[in-house]
Amino acid sequence: MSTFLSGVAVFLSTVALLCGGYAAYEVFTLRQTLNTTTTSTQTNTASPISTKQSVPSEPETTASTSPETTPSPAATSGNAIQPGQFVQPAFGNKAEVEILSAKRIKDPETANRDVVNLQMRIRRQATDGVGGGDIISVASTTARNPDTSETYKGISANRSTGSVSLAQLRPKASADAYVWIRVPDGVKNVDLFVPDTAAFKNVPIAN
């Protein structure tokens, strides 16, 4: 009887050992499966490493600013008379008269822009032969419209230098003079007639 019981005990121990080994094997297999699944999931969800190289941006090019164009003297001078542009002999070759400027101004009494301030320079050329009668009456200077031949006279004697005597000038010396002439607004050029002096043609009037 004891031998039978001993055999049964051995058999049960063997069965228990086999069951324990099988259970351990299943646990090991399940753990391996879980590890493999976790590794695969991490691999799939990891962000891929970018191999694309960034292209450096091109340097900005600053456009050069063109220098401002400086107006030429001819464009800014308007109708200004150039030095030596209008020079005529007077009393033969005893003197010469140069027109310095012809500028339109406003009449101080009427506020109309129908007055031209004519400035001139009278230079004695002769060293002798100049008499007391060699006088240029600046106040008697007149202007003429080259298009209509209309004549314009000085406003008054007190709006001019008056007269310039060559006898009172030394040779090569000069005297500046002026006269106001009433010229209608809108007239751009005039012919000028200074007494005892050759005519000046097409003199521009500056505004």
Confidence at residue 6, expressed as pLDDT on a 0 to 100 scale? 61
Per-residue DSSP letters for the chain?
-HHHHHHHHHHHHHHHHHHHHHHHHHHHHHHHHHHHHHHHHHHHHSPPPP-PPPPPPPPPPPPPPPPPPPPPHHHHSTTPPPTTSSEEEETTTTEEEEEEEEEEE--TTT--S-EEEEEEEEEE--SS---TT-EEEGGG-EEE-TTT--EE-BS-GGGB--EEEGGGS-TT-EEEEEEEEE--TT--EEEEE-TTB--EEEEE-B-
Q: What is the pLDDT along the chain (207 residues), one digit of tens a residue?
A: 556 656 666 666 676 666 666 665 665 665 666 555 555 545 444 444 444 444 445 444 443 333 343 333 333 345 689 999 999 999 999 999 999 999 999 999 999 999 999 999 999 999 999 999 999 999 999 999 999 999 999 998 899 999 999 999 999 999 999 999 999 999 999 999 999 999 999 999 998
The pLDDT of residue 30 is 59
pLDDT of the residue at 32:
63
Q: How confident is the model at residue 61, as a pLDDT? A: 40
> Residue 80's pLDDT is what?
83
What is the pTM assigned to this prediction? Answer: 0.62
